Structure 1
């Protein structure tokens, strides 16, 4: 898929701290675009631009033109990013001021929400303080019944499963289903297949839970404090219960047989599946040589650099791309708001699994038929769908 210039690209500088925030609108469909807001030290305009382009792809990938019962119609892609450590005491003030600065875009065209470094409740609180009705209010004019839709979404965000919110789980459900599809297509038994997860935050934690419950063995997890490993399998539920708000595990919860390894040890863990679920640009051309896994499943956005992916492909390592793998959270928001699913966990999980199984299967079939990588196949599917979306609903670049 050839990258074109985004429709809108702006950088804001906070007059209090000097911190910068970025907003990139890659494409509008029906006058609206969708994409989360992240906060991390070192976030750049280039990063946000790539993420916005990825959101355009995720929206297109989940458009099913052949399902007459589907209520959700795709939006365009966008992304926001703030260059600030979310644990900085000044971070919340920076977030409020950024949202106040970009308020006209949120009100009219940019639907946003949680992303790396920001939980949804924090985004909602900051949006309200910035004078916004909702961080997704630009979508409201597209709804048949706004009150019912907003109530449905609020109810869905109140649902918890075993102590974890449904909004935190659906993304991991989609990542886990991507892994299971790859294993099933390769004829690899699920039971005992070893997995390493880098990042035990919202996405990584939920992925680890779903994979463990599917019979896979989580042999290592990594957070900012280091890598925790056990070749016999970690107690995933105990680790999830011992996390703080930023996904860091309290080491007091580890068992005697659990090993504490250096922070970058997750790269070389003996496992069939590696799930980078934290920061972007985690796998580069140098450290990719340490990876032993057969599959890398991108739960994070842009964790594998292009040159690293090329080298991995030469070694027979399959990278399942972020634009497909981690698209479940975004899709669930809109399935719920538009009414394709209700505020029910099992309904949401079933819909996510069906959608991801079909999408990942189509991507891998296309890659095999074309003799390309999974990412190239995903891009080809998007290239097929975008003209159809533009023809049916209009777009702006």
Structure 2
């Protein structure tokens, strides 16, 4: 793995807590990657996520598109987002890294932080926008910003388009894998860890495609119903952190321990919450055929090797959850408009093509989907560097 272009650790003078920023690579002088907040966040974690963003950007490179992928970066803050001091800490962090946000790092919501919260804190920190570094690359900045703002104002059945875009991509990745294996959607069971932005949207799209979501895990435990959960009711009953109000459960819904989602009878597991959720210890409990990584880095490498030996396929995060980032840029650069139907059509088409290419490369090379993703990135990064120059 290459050394990142920039790596820094910031210590808050008020709380003593730390924040991190890693810029893995620049393309046209800009890098893209969200800002997360979670207790225990580390510099190594943020560096891995930044490298993942470089890969996500490269995987969506289309020389004919108006959106040209950026470099990869990531920010992280070691704090529980529910902590009363969290918002003030977020503002001070953004104020400290303001020169990077202004010049080269475009950021937004990630684990523990909503886009609304990032936007509010960015304004308080004196920033024009959390993505202002990309503005000089736009043909018509005012039209592009208006288009993105319009897209963020769109709601579909009570959920914002910005929240649904990533889940649409995750769901399409899972459906593409099922289609490749000729597995019908009806009767295919799904367990989802996390009912936040990504997990909630994924559960909705998979349910509407005909799959059965039998389990959802949140911070309070696992909600299980072998006949299928009422996903829409659970989405309505969740709070801002994805925790479901148990009073909304039906009589047949059961409450199980937090890690029960791993070992339930389900063909598809969707870890959509924290990193490092599946390790060498708990992987042996998994009975699913596919793990679809909606979260960033949820399966540890050693666990993935053991799962592969048992015939469990892991669809990697750098592909599966890349739809959110790509949707932002497709909209901003003008490859799509601000309407939901156009967005979903473009996301589905792009993600299906990417996953099909991934699976074909893995089969041809005799490797895992993750190794195939790395191979695709290795093919594309030199092409991007040749076209736009090398910033390393």
Q: How does 1:207-226 map to 2 (within 5 A)?
A: 207-226=202-221
In structure 1, the gaps of 5 or more residues are none
The correspondence for 1:307, drawn from 290, 302, 305, is 302
Task: Quote the residue 1:266 is aligned against.
Answer: 261
Q: Deviations over 1:220-240 (max 9, x none)?
A: 000000000001000000000
Q: How does 1:238-277 map to 2 (within 5 A)?
A: 238-277=233-272
Q: How does 1:156-167 map to 2 (within 5 A)?
A: 156-167=151-162
Q: Deviations over 1:136-180 (max 9, x none)?
A: 000000000000000001100000000000000000000000000
Contact 1:153 1:337 in 2 (8 A): yes
Task: Quote the residue 1:57 is aligned against.
Answer: 55
Task: Quote the residue 1:169 is aligned against.
Answer: 164
Q: How does 1:19-58 map to 2 (within 5 A)?
A: 19-58=17-56
Q: How does 1:44-193 map to 2 (within 5 A)?
A: 44-65=42-63, 68=64, 70-193=65-188
Whole-angstrom CA distance in 2 between matches of 1:379 and 1:191: 32
Task: After TM superposition, give the deviation of residue 352 of structure 1 in Å.
Answer: 0.2
Whole-angstrom CA distance in 2 between matches of 1:396 and 1:46: 22
Task: Quote the residue 1:347 is aligned against.
Answer: 342
Task: After TM superposition, give the deviation of residue 266 of structure 1 in Å.
Answer: 0.7
Contact 1:27 1:395 in 2 (8 A): no
Task: Quote the residue 1:197 is aligned against.
Answer: 192
Task: Quote the residue 1:230 is aligned against.
Answer: 225
Q: Deviations over 1:34-73 (max 9, x none)?
A: 00000000000000000000000000000013xx3x1000
Task: Quote the residue 2:285 is aligned against.
Answer: 290
Contact 1:194 1:218 in 2 (8 A): yes
Task: After TM superposition, give the deviation of residue 191 of structure 1 in Å.
Answer: 1.2
| TM-score, scaled to structure 2 | 1.00
Task: After TM superposition, give the deviation of residue 192 of structure 1 in Å.
Answer: 1.9
Q: Deviations over 1:167-204 (max 9, x none)?
A: 00000000000000000000000112000000000000
Whole-angstrom CA distance in 2 between matches of 1:118 and 1:89: 14
Q: Deviations over 1:253-279 (max 9, x none)?
A: 000000100011011010000000000
Contact 1:31 1:395 in 2 (8 A): no
Whole-angstrom CA distance in 1 between matches of 2:166 and 2:350: 12
Whole-angstrom CA distance in 2 between matches of 1:152 and 1:34: 19
Contact 1:60 1:385 in 2 (8 A): yes
Whole-angstrom CA distance in 2 between matches of 1:344 and 1:20: 39
Q: Deviations over 1:310-367 (max 9, x none)?
A: 0000000000000000000000000000001111001000000000000000000000
Task: Quote the residue 1:16 is aligned against.
Answer: 14
Whole-angstrom CA distance in 1 between matches of 2:390 and 2:223: 47
Whole-angstrom CA distance in 2 between matches of 1:20 and 1:297: 31
Task: After TM superposition, give the deviation of residue 395 of structure 1 in Å.
Answer: 2.9
Query: How many residues end up aligned between the 2 structures?
Result: 392
The correspondence for 2:389, drawn from 381, 385, 394, is 394
Whole-angstrom CA distance in 2 between matches of 1:151 and 1:326: 25
Task: After TM superposition, give the deviation of residue 9 of structure 1 in Å.
Answer: 0.1
Q: Which runs of 4+ in 1 moved over 2 A?
A: none
The correspondence for 2:356, drawn from 355, 361, 384, is 361
Secondary structure in 2 aligned to 1:355?
helix
Secondary structure in 1 aligned to 2:109?
coil
Task: Quote the residue 1:6 is aligned against.
Answer: 4
